Chains A and B, each alone.
Chain A
Amino acid sequence: MLRFALGALLVLAPLAQAANELRFTLRSEPKTFNPLMVEDESSETVRYLTGGVLIRLNRYTQELEGELASKWKVLENGRRIDFELRPNVHFSDGTPFSCEDVAFTMDRLMDPALHTPAGDAFRSAPGAVETKCASPTSASVRFPGPVAALALQYDQVAIMSAHSPHKEAAVLGPFMLGEYKPGAFLVLERNPNYWKKDSNGRKLPYLDSIRLDIQSNRELELLRFRRGELDMVNKLDPEMFDRLSSEMPHNVVDAGPSLDSELIFFNQASSAPLPAYKLNWFRSAAFRRAISDAIHRDDLVRVVYKGHARASAGPVSPANKFWLNAALKPAVYSAQAALDELQRDGFHRSGDALADREGHRVEFSMITNAGNKLHERTLTLIQQDLAKIGIQLNVLTLDFPSLIERITRTYNYESVLMALTNVGLDPNDQMNIWLSSAQTHPWNPNQKTPETPWEAEIDKLMQAQAASQTPAQRKIAFDKVQQIVADQAPMVFLVNPNALSAVSPNLKNVTPALLRPQIYWNAERLYLGSGYVSQK
């Protein structure tokens, strides 16, 4: 009898809460509801919660799982992928899901006229992408060239209906757009036709709806969370986290280092309007390594990030378990090592100041975005660290559009502190950063041919790993890229901030992950009840 009662409680617990609504905020207005055109974080949140994908990356285990595709197989060295689709699946408006929808989505995704951001990852070679349907539940997609991590790329592709009159409003994800008041809120309602069920055979999702308030003010967001008006805050800064932690210790989650990196880099662009001697400094690997050695990363972690970050060793965060080159260690702070390196490169102390071999005093500016307290504090710490080796660092905070203009168009900057936000795990997601020909190659973009041998080597290795379908071979190539970056220090990686969030004790089934979206990655299994969040 007791066993039955407990069992009934377990089954009924989610049922009892099904009428509840999960509430959290979007920091800005979603720019689009077309899942193929998503670029901004708010639209990505809506896509994640409403879009149905063939394959999903489990944010917690970091492994691929079948969603709309029950099985898949990558063939022809990454040129082809075959899917076995789940039968009896329907879009939110009742339209049946079939291979035709996959073909329609692929056509839209690869349509050159649309320039879909998600399609970039599939564009490996010129030519058309062909989707064949042997049956309604069998799809085969063929690409003109090999696509690296082909299956993983489908995590970003929400399938659209080929026949629904509601177009992108017909979705296959756990929720669908219910109400939208621009500038105020969105309500995502439970998709009655969602295909997934829990182990007890109950249809998911448990939640009835999700209300996303558009709220850019972080202080107000925190205040509303405290009042119980919001159920979670998906990304907190360390100061807010500590404040909340002292008041509501059971409501905060520090999931450890995130995929993001804080870094600095120097302008090495040939067309930069900088004096030649400064370009020489910035193009010297010894100079860049010395700067790296002179920055006290442990103090950055302790003082700026209140302990909620980890000193960074390179471009891959420890959160990215597979692709991290574990042999790399963060630079150990040593002003003396930095000075020794600089002296070997022809620099010398001239009184308190440092001068190059031509007698120019080493003074340069570092820009960052205004209003970002963490960046401003980081720069102030770096300023004092560099002063110890005789370098004068001038800090310049700029509004964000001016900053982007300088680093991507006019190249009128000397060095910059910024964050590298990684959404994906795969090195292919960073192609636009590492290839010397890329428009967004940070320190010296749009190179016709690589200007340095080590950049040529990085290009070669990145292309090699992209062409290979063997994870082990790709790992070897990307490990070498990380080693070159550590040796040449074109970007000086500082810290990996932790993924910090706040969750109401009422929200159940929360298993915070390091990958975005950290808290609601399993939104279909979340429900509201009472108790404490279990930190895993």
Chain B
Amino acid sequence: MNRTQKIAIGVLAAVTLASLAAGWIAPSYAEQFRDFISAPPSAKFPLGTDELGRDRFARLLYGTRVSLLLAPAAALLSTLIAALLGGTAGYLGGRWERLVTSGIDVFLSLPWLFLLMAVRALLPLNTSPVTSVVLTFLLLGCLGWASPARMLRAGTRTLANSDYLVQARASGVAPARLFWRHLLPNLKPILAAQFWISVPVFILSEANLSLLGLGVAEPLPSWGAMLRDLENYTSVLQNPWMLAPAVLLVAVVSCLQLLLRTEETLPC
């Protein structure tokens, strides 16, 4: 691990800690101070207030909590589904592989945004903001498995034909043991890479959904919802502190990419 990557870990740790401590640092993310709408930064509001008079700093901290906790959870879910389907398809081959490959092709060809919109429209009416955001990321996790599954299927296929696995099979090692003891540990770098790739993808997916007004429900904040304010570019020029969520998003995604390089260079 080089110095840059250590800094990346430091930045991610600081951001995560700050978001977890949001309840103490800036507790009121939903309260509207209607006499202070679009206020500039001050001691009371370090990043000013939004168009409804809500503390931008508090919203940024809580939004970070939402994005940083739920995006990795969705990434973990999609990686697990991908490992299960892609791994078994590559390992077992035959009809199952053809079925999974066809499923992957179908999922990759689906316009996921419209699928998300359709699924979201079917949600129960009285879904609290917290449930709504969890469901949104759950949906993202369930829909995001296809691309990693393709990588894992290819990786498993290569490993399944490798010399050491052929030898293990010839020595009479049981298929389950072969999978768990010999195959899976060697798939770890691919799994890790797919996980770290998925985290920023899901953060950005939520941001895209929020830009369309279909992300996290009000009054819960998220990075995506806060990025919507940047549509008004004149205001951004006049109030550069509005860029804070964008800066944080870029910083976090960059740090995750730097860590991904560490994972990619890990020895098998």
Q: A residues near B, CB below 8 A?
A: 219, 239, 243, 247, 299, 302-304, 363-365, 367, 370-373, 376-377, 379-381, 383-384, 394-399, 402, 412-414
- B43 contacts chain A at the CB level, 8 A cutoff: no
Find out whether the CB atom of B214 lies under 8 angstroms from the CB atom of A303.
Answer: no
Using an 8 Å CB-CB cutoff, how does the interface string of B205-239 with A read, 1 for contact, 0 for none?
00000001110011100000000100111110000
Give the residue of A394, A397, A398, A402 whose beta carbon is less than 8 angstroms from that of B126.
A394
From B9-17, B29-37, B243-251, B259-267, the one touching the partner chain is: B29-37
Q: How large is the interface on B (under 10, 10 to 19, 20 to 34, 35 or more residues)?
A: 20 to 34
The reply to whether A413 and B213 form a contact with Cβ atoms under 8 Å apart is no
Q: Which residues of A contact B128 (CB under 8 A)?
A: 394
Question: Are B217 and A303 within 8 A (Cβ)?
Answer: no
Q: Among the listed B51, B52, B213, which residue makes an inter-chain contact with A371, where contact means beta carbons less than 8 Å apart?
A: B213
Complex contacts, A365 vs chain B, CB 8 Å: 125-127
How far, in whole Å, are A372 and B213 apart by their CA atoms in the complex?
8
- Contact indicator B125/A376 (Cβ below 8 Å): no
* B25-52 interface bits toward A, Cβ cutoff 8 Å, 1 = contact, 0 = none: 0000011101001000000000000011
A-B contacts besides A303-B37, A365-B126, 12 pairs, CB < 8 Å: A303-B53, A365-B127, A379-B218, A380-B32, A380-B219, A381-B32, A384-B31, A394-B217, A395-B129, A396-B123, A396-B125, A399-B121
Interface centre among B30, B32, B213, B233 (most CB of A within 10 A): B213
Q: Is the CB of B213 within 8 A of A394?
A: no
Task: For A370, give its contact among B123, B127, B212, B234 (CB under 8 Å).
Answer: B212
The answer to whether B117 has its CB under 8 Å from any CB of chain A is yes
Residues of A within 8 A of B125 (CB): 365, 367, 394, 396, 412-414
**A370 in contact with B214 (CB, 8 Å):** yes
- Give every chain B residue within 8 A of A395 (Cβ-Cβ): 129, 217-218
Contacts of B51 in A (CB 8 A): 239, 303-304, 377
Residues on B with beta carbons closer than 8 Å to the beta carbon of A239: 51, 232
Give the 8 A-B CB pairs with smallest separation, nearest first: A370-B213, A402-B121, A365-B125, A371-B213, A380-B218, A395-B218, A397-B213, A243-B234
Across the two chains, which residue of chain A brings its CB closest to B214?
Answer: A370
Q: Which residues of chain B have C-beta atoms less than 8 A from A398's C-beta? A: 120-121
Within the assembled complex, what's the spacing in Å between the Cα atoms of A219 and B128?
A: 33
Centre residue among B31, B52, B117, B232 by max chain A CB count within 10 A: B52
**A-B contact list, 12 entries, CB within 8 Å:** A299-B34, A303-B34, A303-B52, A303-B53, A370-B213, A371-B213, A380-B218, A394-B129, A394-B217, A399-B121, A402-B117, A414-B125
Q: How many A-B residue pairs have CB under 8 A?
A: 75
Per the 8 Å Cβ criterion, residues 39-81 of B in contact with A are 51-53
Residue of A nearest to B125 (CB): A365
* Chain A residues whose C-beta falls within 8 Å of the C-beta of B52 in the assembled complex: 303, 377, 380-381
What residues of chain B lie closer than 8 Å to A363, measured between beta carbons? Answer: 126
Interface residues in chain B, defined as those with a beta carbon under 8 Å from any beta carbon in chain A? 30-32, 34, 37, 51-53, 117, 120-121, 123, 125-129, 212-214, 217-219, 228, 231-235
Beta-carbon contact of A383 and B218 below 8 Å: yes
**Closest Cβ neighbor of B209 among chain A residues:** A370
Q: Which chain B positions have C-beta within 8 A of A381? A: 32, 52
Whether A219 lies near B121 (C-beta < 8 A) is no
Residues from chain A with Cβ under 8 Å of B218 in the complex:
376, 379-380, 383, 395
Taking the closest CB of chain B, its distance from the CB of A473, in whole angstroms, is 44
**Complex partner residue of B214 from A304, A373, A379, A397, CB under 8 angstroms:** A397
Q: Measured between alpha carbons, how far is A163 from B123 in the docked complex, in Å?
A: 56
Give the distance in Å from the alpha carbon of A364 to the alpha carbon of B126 in the complex.
6
A134 to B83 alpha-carbon distance, docked (Å): 85
Asked whether B214 lies within 8 Å of A399 as measured between CB atoms, the reply is: yes
CA gap between A299 and B37 in the complex, in Å = 11
The smallest beta-carbon distance between B63 and chain A, in angstroms, is: 15
Using Cβ atoms and an 8 Å threshold, which residues of chain A touch B129?
394-395
A371 contacts B126, C-beta separation under 8 Å: no
Which chain A residues lie closer than 8 Å to B231 at the CB level? 219
Q: Once the chains are docked, how many angstroms separate the CA of A379 from the CA of B31?
A: 14
Give every chain B residue within 8 A of A383 (Cβ-Cβ).
Answer: 218-219
Q: Does A396 contact B117, Cβ atoms closer than 8 Å?
A: no
Across the interface, which residues of A come within 8 angstroms of B30, CB to CB? 384
The CA of A397 and the CA of B228, in the complex, are separated in Å by 15
A274 CA / B234 CA spacing, docked (Å): 45
Give the residues in chain A near B37, CB-CB below 8 Å.
Answer: 303
Q: How far is the CA of A511 from the CA of B254 in the complex (A)?
A: 54
In the assembled complex, how far is the CB of residue B31 from the closest CB belonging to chain A, in whole angstroms?
8
CA A394 – CA B130 in complex, angstroms?
Answer: 11
Q: How far is the CB of B135 from chain A (nearest CB, A)?
A: 12
User: From B114, which residue of chain A is reached at the shortest CB distance?
Assistant: A399
Closest A residue, CB atoms, query B54:
A380
- Measured CB to CB, the nearest residue on chain A to B213 is A370
Residues in B with CB closer than 8 Å to A412 are 125
Cβ distance A361 to chain B, nearest Cβ, rounded Å: 11
A243 B232 Cβ-Cβ under 8 A: yes
Cβ of A219: which chain B residues have Cβ within 8 Å of it?
A: 231, 233
The reply to whether B32 and A396 form a contact with Cβ atoms under 8 Å apart is: no
CA distance A112 to B35 in the complex (A): 57
Q: Complex formed: what's the CA distance from A365 to B234 in Å?
A: 34
A-side contacts of B127, CB under 8 Å: 365, 394, 396
The complex places the Cα of A367 from the Cα of B218 at a distance, in Å, of: 12
- The chain B residue with its CB closest to the CB of A414 is B125
CB distance from A8 to the nearest CB of B (A): 43
Contact check, B219 vs A396: say whether CB atoms are below 8 A apart. Answer: no
Q: How far is the CB of A224 from chain B (nearest CB, A)?
A: 15
What residues on B are CB-neighbors of A394 within 8 Å? 125-129, 217
Closest A residue to B32 by beta carbon equals A384
Alpha-carbon distance A239/B214, docked complex (angstroms) = 21
Which residues of B have CB within 8 Å of A303?
A: 32, 34, 37, 51-53
Q: How far is it, in angstroms, between the C-alpha of A412 and the C-alpha of B124 when the chains are bound?
A: 10
Report Cα–Cα, A367/B127, bound state, in Å.
Answer: 12
What A residues does B212 contact at CB under 8 A? 370-371
Report B-chain residues with C-beta under 8 Å of the C-beta of A397: 213-214, 217
Which A residues touch B32, using CB under 8 A? Answer: 303, 380-381, 384
B27 to A: closest C-beta gap in Å: 16
CA distance A303 to B38 in the complex (A): 10
